[in-house]
Chain A
């Protein structure tokens, strides 16, 4: 009698915990991507539209690498039962990070640096151009191709913990998989490293100085060009990690120019804006806020409108507190 009465409560609780776990995993990915947006915005004051394409590049290059490495080890990449050794995942991720770092450096060097003094709108249009370029070069047959692929599993599908709600046969179980834990812990580690870098190292001081006032920073002997390049590389490396982790969690990969990727990048940007763009801690906060709104909205209201919630939240935040949750208001100077 008591168990039958309690079942709906268990259902509610298990649904809640399940959504919570997904939101934490996705939120840490959004936060990783948002960090790249927010750092570039903080220093150069423009939205790097191409950042979401760096995420895609990270995802697709790790796919390409994984498909090349696995047969070399004598494993079939298209067999879902294959479990490669742990170092494969690490190598693939590091290689993707290096590649994206190089591409990020090249983009800044070739396109954005010449526009350092140009009106912001011009830089924005250039960023859209770079984004279109990356998307469509990625679609070419001899690059990644235009057909969707399935990422081979690089991590074993272990269940680290299983929480049971209710008793006996009718119990509902919520499973915490290895991938969720890896995403969350890796993302948190990277974010803590970022935090340390920005607030406790000399390079971080230089980054904050350039962000505060580029000309004065240059006068104080800070190599502005090198700091900006470093920021781009750092953001791209984080984006690559996020791209890799994203396809580990959701193995079905869309073609490089697919709307899903652009939306992923856009939501991360929304996260950066909501947290207060230019603010490193704000980006992390925003990433989790966005993920919670999206996941809980999708589960409890309607999953069809999951993108609408995010943009609605963005518009509300921009109208109520345009500088974001943790951002400081900017005063217009004449």
Chain B
């Protein structure tokens, strides 16, 4: 059954970083912990950015593959683990875009998370609304889409986004506000017409 999760995004994931000591070895237990902590967020991030479920799955697999290959390169002194992880995710996405020479346009309406708290009629309305949102997000400039995907897909705080994008937190707040404004204009324009 297709439905939605209407639970609002918990504001940040400030405390979800696994404690990784310098020089730590990536044991199966640690990897499993990382996988369970970040899988949904990584997959959601890509779902905001690419056209199909298969692409989102491939990119998610790439990220966790890279974590295994490059774990020794992670230095806790240089920042949080999730910043490093989403840096890998953004690089994988950029590589994907470069190789395909196109940007996504389609929506992922078939993979929305189920939410049994919402009735069937409301689920259909939300499905339509979210599909439209994705279409509008894909019309935004690349930077806006990245900001929105990091904020709402990867569930990162503005401070964490700033660390990933090498921006000040205040600048992230302004840029994110403008991106939402542009998205809102698309949304309203469509409702008028």
Question: Do these two chains interact?
Answer: no
B interface residues, Cβ below 8 angstroms from A? none
A interface residues, Cβ below 8 angstroms from B? none
